[in-house]
Homo-oligomer: A and B are copies of this chain.
Amino acid sequence: MVEGTNMGDSDSDIRVAIIGGGAGGMSAASRIKALKPEWIVSVFEATSFVSHAPCGIPYVVEGISETSKLMYYPPSVFIEKRGIDLRMNTRVIDVSKGSLQYIENGEEKEMEWDYLVFGTGASPIIPPIEGKDLEGIFTVDLPPDAERINSASKDVSEVVIVGSGYIGLEMAEAFSARGKNVTVIEMLPHPLPNFDEDIAEVVKAEMEKKVNLRLNEKVQAFEGKDKVEKVVTDKGEYKAELVIVATGVKPNVELAEKLGVKLGETGAIWTDRKMRTSMENVYAAGDCAETYHMITGKRVWNPLAPPGNKMGYVAGVNIAGGDIEFPGVLGTQITKFHELEIAKTGFSEKEAKENGFEVKTALIKAQTRVHYYPGGRETQIKVVADKNTNRILGAQIVGYDSVLARVDTMAAAIQAGFTTKDLFFADLAYAPPFAPTWEPLVVAARVLKF
């Protein structure tokens, strides 16, 4: 077969190679096989997990889930039901136009491809801090990490978490729920770096009930004999028997660089809206791929599972001869810290300004039910809008109930280009057990004016 083309004698000669069996890779593989059952679709996955669910790691550590469950589908679904040539524990070591080299069962092998998909994901960044290689220091990446962290944490009482983004927060919940003494160290003046400080205040207050939260503090060293024993910052030192470094992730682009596909300004693999890279017949999807922001159209990198799945779907459809574009992301996220639910979609005030918008904001405190129905909980909502056009640019929601409802509604509203007036007139649901008559999002719109 001619390298790098799909000009084989028949469709059954067409071979797709997918590097990585996570959300992006498996969605692409599944879609291609659904549309082109006669094609050979090979997925190379370095671990013994496929369609892995790293988002579940904190909950395994918390003791409410199990590592073995951290796959959305077991390999058999992909192999037997979907007819995918899935190769687990198989690492791709090199890739060139039309072929790739991989190690399977300790043996180096080569495969030719007509289409290639990078689904290589992202990996935690470990800052170059002294002592970072000591035993007892972990990152949260792939399902096996849950097991490693769990067995290392059994008899441990002092846990230090570096970073207070989503993963830091979730790991802080996990360890504090297990009764450990948890210290969270954050360089910034508030937890959740991509939130605005005013609304992050609620998260801060909740964290302070459960953990020792150290803000404006920078880790300078991990110290210990063989195992980590303490974490030294610019302001103090903390006993540490186990450390979680959760200071961010980076896209895995080494193989893409080897092949010579272009990287984008964010450092992830450049892709267009069809998930094509700069090289013919080469696609990328999921956490390794760059995409567009729905509001600005600017290039962003947003390594999260749902867009990863959809990027894979889009790559798959296009490879199989379809024509579909991925419209980009808003960076919608949700998490919780114990009972406090925390979510965001679109831009924070700070991010909106960084993107050149003149903004106005409303910060609303509301109860989630009418006053006469028991069980209402407090929720706080910050909505950011363009001062000139009234377009909604973002929402941050922190509360004890129904945060999913409000963030998803705002995600749809922002995608649609809603103005504050459109939001005010949104016909949102009301009944005493569910929401107040004046829905807090509608109140936010009214406060923002239109």
Task: Spell out A's residues near B (CB within 8 Å).
Answer: 23, 53, 55-56, 59, 64-66, 69-70, 72, 294, 304-307, 309-310, 313, 326-327, 329-336, 341, 343, 345, 370-374, 402, 404-409, 411-413, 415-418, 422, 424-435, 437-439, 442, 446
Q: Looking at A66, A69, A371, which has the most chain B CB atoms within 10 Å of its CB?
A: A371
**B426 and A304 form a contact (CB under 8 A):** no
What CA separation (Å) do A66 and B446 show in the bound complex? 30
Q: Given A69-B372, A405-B404 in contact, is the A427-B335 Cβ separation under 8 Å?
A: no
> In the complex, what residue of chain B is closest to A436 when comparing beta carbons?
B72
**B334 and A404 form a contact (CB under 8 A):** no
Q: Looking at A53, A66, A326, A408, which has the most chain B CB atoms within 10 Å of its CB?
A: A408
**B405 and A332 form a contact (CB under 8 A):** no
What CA separation (Å) do A332 and B428 show in the bound complex? 6
**B427 and A329 form a contact (CB under 8 A):** yes
**A431 and B374 form a contact (CB under 8 A):** no
Q: Given A306-B438, A416-B418, A418-B416 in contact, is the A332-B429 Cβ separation under 8 Å?
A: yes
A167 to nearest B CB, angstroms?
Answer: 11
> In the complex, what residue of chain B is closest to A51 when comparing beta carbons?
B437
**A56 and B430 form a contact (CB under 8 A):** no
**A427 and B415 form a contact (CB under 8 A):** yes
Residues of B within 8 A of A439 (CB): 306
**A331 and B427 form a contact (CB under 8 A):** yes
**A427 and B306 form a contact (CB under 8 A):** yes
**A415 and B426 form a contact (CB under 8 A):** yes
Provide 16 A-B residue pairs closer than 8 Å at the C-beta atoms, listed in order of the A residue.
Answer: A56-B432, A66-B372, A70-B372, A306-B427, A306-B430, A306-B438, A330-B427, A331-B427, A332-B428, A332-B429, A345-B429, A402-B405, A408-B426, A408-B429, A412-B428, A415-B427
Residues of B within 8 A of A55 (CB): 370, 430-432
What CA separation (Å) do A336 and B371 show in the bound complex? 18
Residues of B within 8 A of A424 (CB): 310
Partner of A437, one of B306, B345, B402, B422: B306
A177 to nearest B CB, angstroms?
Answer: 12
Q: Given A416-B416, A418-B412 in contact, is the A333-B407 Cβ separation under 8 Å?
A: no
**A429 and B333 form a contact (CB under 8 A):** yes
**B327 and A425 form a contact (CB under 8 A):** yes
What CA separation (Å) do A331 and B309 show in the bound complex? 33
What CA separation (Å) do A373 and B310 show in the bound complex? 22
**B415 and A65 form a contact (CB under 8 A):** no
What CA separation (Å) do A371 and B413 show in the bound complex? 29
**A306 and B442 form a contact (CB under 8 A):** yes
**B59 and A404 form a contact (CB under 8 A):** no
> In the complex, what residue of chain B is closest to A375 when comparing beta carbons?
B64
**B336 and A373 form a contact (CB under 8 A):** no
What CA separation (Å) do A313 and B449 show in the bound complex? 13
What CA separation (Å) do A98 and B335 show in the bound complex? 57
A422 to nearest B CB, angstroms?
Answer: 7
A268 to nearest B CB, angstroms?
Answer: 17
**B425 and A310 form a contact (CB under 8 A):** yes
Q: Given A56-B432, A437-B305 in contact, is the A332-B427 Cβ separation under 8 Å?
A: yes
What CA separation (Å) do A352 and B434 show in the bound complex? 27
A344 to nearest B CB, angstroms?
Answer: 9
Residues of B within 8 A of A438 (CB): 306, 309
**B309 and A65 form a contact (CB under 8 A):** no
Residues of B within 8 A of A372 (CB): 53, 56, 59, 65-66, 69-70
